[in-house]
Amino acid sequence: MKKLLGIILGSFTIGAIYLSYNYITFDSKQLDFRKIENNSSYDEAVVHLSEAIQIQTISYDDHIDTTEFYKFIDFVKDVYPHTFQKTSHQLLGGLSMLFTWQGSDPSLKPIILMSHYDVVPVPEGNLPKWKQPPFEGKIVDGFIWGRGAIDDKVGVIGILEAIEGMIKNGYQPKRTIYLSFGHDEEVMGNNGAKQIAHFLKQKGVKAEFVLDEGGYLTDGLVPGMEKQVALIGTTEKGFVTLELSTEIEGGHASMPKKETAVDVIAKALVAVHDNPFPSHISKPLNDFIEHVGPEMPFALKTVFANSNLLEPVLMAVYEKGPSSNALVRTTVAPTIVEAGVKNNVLPTQARAVLNIRILPGETVESVTSAIKNTLNDDRIKIQILERSNPPAVSNPKHPAYKMLDQSIREVFGEVVVSPYIMIAASDSRYFTGISENVLRFCPFTLNKENIKSFHGINEKIGVEEFKNSIQFYERVIKNAEEL
């Protein structure tokens, strides 16, 4: 008995030493840069974003009003004359804008700043819920209201304001700067950013880095963190849209068969729900752990420092919320279910559509195969409607990432900066063949309130936050010169 007790105590001691050692050596990866005060007013820029929101560049699934898109292009020409004078510019894919600001040193790799100016529709039934009209760009209570305020006319206008101001002040970049503004990001970007990326690739462009939307300055969104955390997307989840369909003999509803087409699809959805993809620590999540973990309170820092040993504990924490759960597993969401045309007729056909967001390390093929195995029903036909594998993961140790880290701190001050996995899809995925450093960051704050306004109700951005975004893009352009 004493021997057993000794073994237990010895094992406990060794375990405690191991955990303590990992905690002590879990060093901070935060850089030391100070906030740079900016005396620029940017008051006209606020009006320009308001005006941009008023132009209804809406991407519907099956059509767009090209008049509004051309109106936006004309607006950009009118408001940013110096940018048009100093850059070459062209339309690709019909309505997407590509600007080239030629650098003075052709030996340096160019950089690419991206955004998109299309927005999602506002359902008519939601209009009464908006505190301010979605397409009037009203400036009320210190906010600029309307569709596109944070997704993503703030990016387009923020970049253009920075460029216009720098040109006015006589700035000449060493590196060539490309500006890519897509017109169809909300509907896959096939005619916009994809065409721009193809054009640049055909020209042989190899960029030092690409910066698109995606990461954010977060407040209260990272479990366990009291400080604000600036999340830089070093990759994003892939996606596949699967249609599940079945066809079974129907009949009169008064004589239901043992199993109908509806039953088959319903059971399939239950099977998918009850068999989620496993949660685990992927490569980009491990990068997140290494950057955020050392800044955590004692208990969570201990877990993060020993994530290889305490992975189940860490997964339990992150599986609690929808946004954090999406960081640790491939997710499946049924979005469409269809069957039947009359209440007394058994439908012969039924279908469901699954929206699957794929964690880096998995593929469209592996995920589709897993769903097929889960269903294990030959009566169900599986068809891929849309697909995109997860893009490569950018290296947070690369100077381009560190430059972006520096730029964030120079504008927002003492925040925690960390790489992370963007859980949605962006136009940047088309640019991985142009640069190994594809980064994603939007220079404004997301919290538990305004995160709901993405594609939702009462989208708005603070006036001061928008002004900070302009300063941020100025810092990125200037700091990129030193890479």
Residues with a catalytic annotation lie at: 118, 185
- 437 and 208 Cβ atoms separated by less than 8 Å: yes
- 448 and 321 Cβ atoms separated by less than 8 Å: no
Measure Cα distances from 189 to 193, 421, 454, 481 in Å: 5, 20, 18, 30
Coil, strand or helix at 38: coil
One-letter amino acid of 466: F
> CB neighbours of 203 closer than 8 A, spacing ≥ 6?
none
Distance in angstroms (rounded) separating the CA atoms of residues 243 and 350: 10
- 238 and 384 Cβ atoms separated by less than 8 Å: no
Cα torsion angle, 83, 158, 30, 285, sign: negative
> CB neighbours of 178 closer than 8 A, spacing ≥ 6?
98, 99, 100, 101, 110, 111, 112, 113, 200, 205, 207
Distance in angstroms (rounded) separating the CA atoms of residues 287 and 418: 8
Distance in angstroms (rounded) separating the CA atoms of residues 393 and 388: 15
